Amino acid sequence: EVQLLESGGGLVQPGGSLRLSCATSGFTFSNYAMSWVRQAPGKGLEWLSFILGGGTGTNYADSVKGRFTISRDNSKNTLYLQMNSLRAEDTAVYHCARGWNNGYFDYWGQGTLVTVSS
């Protein structure tokens, strides 16, 4: 059974940093691209970042480019999102999602809540 479990969310002050993790199981992690998608309160889903299975290629939404860094450890079957210079508008539930069919997402984690507030 494919499982994705995010962790690392919490309350952080504006300008602070957090590192999210997404532990996966039930599939060959290195064979799949992965993404982070977030959902702010009362808003729709927003794709943030993508990384290829081998970890060599990445892409970012303009809203997080230069502040967030996606990475992965295929030996640990884990995806990461390093978030720096956090802003109030980054407050959201952050989901990791498995890439499928060159751009869709076939499995998602339930998400971890990040709250940016003083």
Contact set with another protein (CB under 8 A): 4, 35, 37, 43-47, 50, 59, 61-62, 95, 97, 100-111
Q: How many CB atoms lie within 10 A of CB 50?
A: 19
Q: Which lies closer to another protein via its Cβ, residue 62 or residue 118?
A: 62
Q: Which lies closer to another protein via its Cβ, residue 35 or residue 78?
A: 35
Q: Which lies closer to another protein via its Cβ, residue 13 or residue 110?
A: 110
The nearest distance, CB 102 to another protein, in angstroms, is 7
* Strands in the chain per DSSP E: 3-7, 10-12, 18-25, 34-39, 45-51, 58-60, 68-73, 78-83, 92-100, 104-108, 112-116
